[in-house]
Amino acid sequence: MSAATVPAAAPARDVPERMRAAVMHGRGDVRVEERPVPAPRDGEVLLRVTRAGICGTDAGEFTHGPSMFPVERRHPVTGHLGPMVIGHEFIGEAVAAGPGAENFVGRRFASGAGVWCGTCAWCRAGRTNLCERYWTAGLSADGGLAGFVTVPAATLVEIPGAEHDDAMGLAQPLAVGLHAARRSGAGAGDVVVLVGAGAIGSFILCGLAGSAERVIALDVDAHRLATARELGATETHDVRSTDPVELVREVTGGVGASVTIEATGRDGSSQRALDMTRRGGRVLFVGLPHTPQALDLAPTILREVDITTTLAHVCAEDLPRAVDLLRDGRIANLLLGDVIGLDDLVERGLRPLSAGTAPGKVLVDPWR
């Protein structure tokens, strides 16, 4: 997705030659720089970005990385190596297109950001997020925390009508939450425990709505727990001064959760998630730990607990549903925090998100 010099097949609509972009150079080093506006290649669309989200992965890479971003090691699929435009949650207007995507120009889209080949065994099975050549704009090559970004047209879902950019800016992370909720397998009669009601936990709750008998949300922040109740949690518990494993056993009559969803990635939380799950239950790991985790698996094996993981989303299935759920504005009203400009990205975005003090989901308007 690096800048190209070939002209777009569809005429560009007021596209400048250069743009401002948030570029990661290394740990703790994200700079707003001028860069050439990229040109779309075959099957690609150039989006004028109207909103871009900041993800926990972005904050983690800023604080602890780069380990996932190909800043110091070349990406095996995209070939990217070196400073990279970050941002994998973005929406915008298509202002130019390469051959095969000309009819996209002039319409507004949310992008799934993840790119798949369409021909490997995983793609043929419908699990495009596991494609053997999968890569993501903003994680594996230049992304959308910029004025413009090029993406394959296949990653786009049209934003209908005149829905507000702030709400639709949540489409990609909501799609991730919807995919995780599906992966959990939660259904009628289940007692679900969600560990962590932050951003991704909140989006998972949107996918769990109405699917389980009880949804119990655990967190250490009263505001997040209040939001969890608005999003459909049947009960919430502040675990700042409580052993969460003992609490879950108590509120489930000593049985434990039938489905536990671990959405924090914090040290020790993986083991606690296993310990609070009942015989024959299931644990879904969502949060990415920053360090290797020691697990005592013997008790888990002896209770025949299933362990499941989740990755990204299946664009064709999860992104259209996310766009539809965001149309009435209710989810956005509950989850949105600040909308900031690129110049405030580090101090009002990455640092608060890394510290856990961000006031809701932070979006960036790259034209502020």
| Cα 126 from Cα 142, distance rounded (Å) | 26
At 13 the pLDDT is: 63
At 356 the pLDDT is: 83
Averaged over 188-217, what is the pLDDT? 95
φ, ψ of residue 313 in degrees (nearest 5): -160, 165
User: Are 18-170+326-364 and 177-309 the same fold in CATH?
Assistant: no
Spatial neighbors of 199 by CB under 8 A, at least 6 apart, are 55, 56, 173, 335, 361
Report pLDDT digits (tens) over 68-80. Answer: 999 999 999 999 9
Contact (Cβ atoms closer than 8 angstroms) between residue 138 and residue 164: no
At 54 the pLDDT is: 95
At 10 the pLDDT is: 52
| Cα 360 from Cα 353, distance rounded (Å) | 9
pLDDT at 143 over 70: yes
At 286 the pLDDT is: 96
Give the residue extent of every domain in the chain: 18-170+326-364, 177-309
| Architecture of the 18-170+326-364 domain | Alpha-Beta Complex (3.90)
Checking phi first, is residue 138 left (phi over 0); if not, alpha (psi -120 to 50) or beta?
A: left
Report pLDDT digits (tens) over 180-192. Answer: 999 999 999 999 9
At 226 the pLDDT is: 96
pLDDT at 1 over 50: no
Q: Please give the single-letter amino acid code of residue 24.
A: M
Report pLDDT digits (tens) over 343-359. Answer: 999 999 999 998 888 88
The DSSP bridge pattern shows strands 29-36 and 336-340 to be unpaired
Picking from 59-63, 97-101, 167-171, 288-292, which range would have the lowest pLDDT averaged per residue?
Answer: 288-292
Contact (Cβ atoms closer than 8 angstroms) between residue 271 and residue 295: yes
Averaged over 58-63, what is the pLDDT? 93
Please spell the DSSP secondary structure of 175-219, one letter per residue.
Answer: HHHHHHHHHHT--TT-EEEEE--SHHHHHHHHHHTTTSSEEEEEE
How would residue 5 be classed by pLDDT, with cut points 50, 70 and 90?
Answer: very low
At 6 the pLDDT is: 36
How would residue 9 be classed by pLDDT, with cut points 50, 70 and 90?
Answer: very low
The DSSP bridge pattern shows strands 108-111 and 89-97 to be antiparallel
| Cα 190 from Cα 205, distance rounded (Å) | 14
| Cα 283 from Cα 199, distance rounded (Å) | 19
Contact (Cβ atoms closer than 8 angstroms) between residue 202 and residue 181: no
Report pLDDT digits (tens) over 83-121. Answer: 999 999 999 999 999 999 999 999 999 999 999 999 999
Closest by alpha carbon to 80, among 68, 88, 90, 92?
Answer: 68
List the Cα angle 198/162/226 in 5-degree steps. Answer: 20
Q: Tokens for 129?
A: 């997020």
How would residue 12 be classed by pLDDT, with cut points 50, 70 and 90?
Answer: low
The DSSP bridge pattern shows strands 135-136 and 114-115 to be antiparallel
Tell me the pLDDT of the chain averaged across its residues. 93
Averaged over 166-195, what is the pLDDT? 96
Contact (Cβ atoms closer than 8 angstroms) between residue 365 and residue 166: no
Report pLDDT digits (tens) over 242-273. Answer: 999 999 999 999 999 999 999 999 999 999 99
pLDDT at 298 over 90: yes
Question: What class is the 177-309 domain?
Answer: alpha beta
pLDDT at 210 over 90: no
Bigger pLDDT: 207 or 356? 207
pLDDT at 2 over 70: no
Closest by alpha carbon to 21, among 85, 109, 93, 91?
Answer: 85
Averaged over 36-54, what is the pLDDT? 97
Picking from 55-69, 112-126, 133-147, which range would have the lowest pLDDT averaged per residue?
Answer: 55-69
User: Residue 172: helix, strand or coil by DSSP?
Assistant: helix
Bigger pLDDT: 162 or 106? 106
At 291 the pLDDT is: 86
Q: Tokens for 58?
A: 């972005």
